[in-house]
């Protein structure tokens, strides 16, 4: 993964971003042999990052199939980015989502978050990644605490 690719992947913070990027790249692939210049990218979030990868003047490129290969390779890489499903008790801000993504990502591997909100978990986070279910919610902690200290709690009422 080069720096340009990394810059694009860092923009992907959720599943919607992934879908949007893939559709943008597929559109580029369709236009590759029709026009001579890189079309204006409608999604401003990916504009700079994509421009950094592809030259503006496509006429300079002798073999467009190389560009096509880059696009298709990029699509495959985007598709293969690991998805982590998280559950939160509140609606996260974009900044907070990026923060979570950065914690969950490795230097060589980006993650995409699929977020759901359930206030009943009270707080904390529940993660599902690579088939693993990790419950770091306050609900779980409270339940564990009540199970572990049930006798003490019961003693309070006797």
Partner 1 sequence: MYINPVLYIFLVASVIVLSVILVSLVISYLFSVKRLTNLEKEQDKLYQETKQKQQEAIFAAQNTANQIIDEATDIGHYTKTTLDDAIASIKHHEEEILAQESEKFIKEYDSQARELKDEGIKRLQSVSDDISKYIDSYFKLLTDTLTAQTSKSHEEVENKIKGEYENLEKELADYKKRQIEKIDNNISKMLLNISKLAFGSSLPIEKHENIVIEALEEAKKKGELE
* Sheet strands (E) in the chain: 82-88, 111-117, 124-129, 132-137
Which residue of 40, 44, 94, 157 would you call a contact of partner 1, by CB under 8 A?
157
Q: Of the two residues 10 and 135, which places its CB atom closer to partner 1 in the complex?
A: 135
Q: Of the two residues 15 and 135, which places its CB atom closer to partner 1 in the complex?
A: 135
Q: Of the two residues 3 and 120, which places its CB atom closer to partner 1 in the complex?
A: 120
Site for partner 1, residues 17 to 36, rule: CB under 8 A: none
For partner 1, which stretch binds (CB under 8 A), given 18-26, 40-48, 55-63, 126-134? 126-134
Site for partner 1, residues 88 to 117, rule: CB under 8 A: 88-90, 92, 96, 99-100, 103-104
139: burial class by Cβ within 10 Å (0-12, 13-18, 19+)?
middle
Q: Does 125 bind partner 1 (CB under 8 A)?
A: yes
Exposure string of 5-31, with b = 16+ CB inside 10 Å and e = fewer, is: beebbebbbbeebbebbbebbeebbee
Task: Catalogue the long-range contacts made by 136-142 (C-beta closer than 8 Å, 24 or more residues apart).
Answer: 137/87, 137/89, 138/89
For residues 52 and 45, what is the distance between their CA atoms, to the nearest angstrom?
Answer: 13
| Site residues (vs partner 1, CB under 8 A) | 88-90, 92, 96, 99-100, 103-104, 119-120, 122-125, 127, 129, 132, 134, 136, 138-139, 142-143, 146, 150, 153-154, 157
């Amino acid at each position: 993964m080069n720096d340009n690719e990394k810059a694009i992947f860092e923009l992907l913070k959720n599943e919607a971003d992934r879908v949007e990027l893939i559709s943008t790249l597929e559109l580029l692939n369709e236009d590759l042999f029709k026009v001579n210049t890189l079309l204006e990218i409608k999604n401003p979030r990916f504009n700079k990052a994509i421009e950094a990868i592809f030259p503006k003047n496509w006429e300079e490129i002798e073999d467009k199939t190389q560009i096509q290969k880059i696009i298709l390779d990029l699509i495959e890489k985007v598709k293969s980015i690991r998805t982590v499903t998280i559950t939160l008790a509140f609606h996260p801000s974009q900044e907070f989502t990026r923060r979570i993504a950065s914690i969950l990502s490795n230097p060589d591997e980006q993650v995409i978050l699929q977020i759901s909100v359930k206030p009943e978990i009270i707080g904390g986070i529940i993660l599902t990644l690579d088939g693993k279910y990790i419950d770091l919610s306050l609900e779980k902690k409270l339940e564990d605490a009540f199970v572990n200290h049930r006798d003490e709690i019961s003693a309070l009422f006797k």
